[in-house]
Structure 1
Amino acid sequence: MPTVFIPTMMRDLTGGVDRVEVAGTNVREAIESLDDQFPGLRDRLCRADALAPGLQVSIDNVMNSRGLRAKLGPHSAIHFIPAIGGG
């Protein structure tokens, strides 16, 4: 099963759990599976029908621009990367 690595800023919803195995063949399905286990995560990760602004997804250490449609393999590692502010 794919594994989602939970960003530190969202671990309050997982009781401190830092990684979770999820069902799904794309990012959308993985987020649904994640939200089934930890209600509220979908609202933190998504806005309407897209990833939340300022959030990117990395699948198997490759940044992906397909957002929720990005395909997953059976052993994919999924990281949600928040934007880093600065200037």
Structure 2
Amino acid sequence: MATIFIPAQLRSLTSGSNTVVLPAANVGEAIELLEQSYPGIRARLCQGNDLLPGFQLSIDHRFTRQGLSAELAPDSEVHFLPVIGGG
């Protein structure tokens, strides 16, 4: 099952848990499963059918732009990393 790493700013929704293990085939399915257990998390990660622009998606230590359709292997590690801006 895929391991989903929860960003610090969303851990209040998961009662402090920093990881959740889910049987998901892609990122969209993982987010829907997270939403079932932790209502409100989808709204904090997604805008419609896309990942919010404030997050970068990393699967198995590789950044991807495939968004919610990105496929997951049974042992994948998924990170929603906050985008850091600067000036």
Inter-partner Cα distance in structure 2 for 1:47 and 1:83: 15
Render the CA deviation track for 1:60-86: whole Å, top value 9, x for unaligned.
Answer: 000011000100000100000111021
- Partner of 1:36 in structure 2? 36
2:59 match: 59
Q: Distance in 1 between matches of 2:11 and 2:26?
A: 22
Alignment of 1:44-83 (within 5 A): 44-83=44-83
The whole-number CA distance in structure 2 between the counterparts of 1:28 and 1:72 is 10
Moved over 3 A (4+): none
1:4 corresponds in structure 2 to: 4
Aligned residues: 87
TM-score with structure 2 length normalisation? Answer: 0.96
Gaps spanning 5+ residues in structure 1: where? none
Q: TM-score, normalised by structure 1?
A: 0.96
Using the aligned pairs only, state the percent identity.
49
Distance in 1 of aligned mates of 2:74 and 2:30: 11
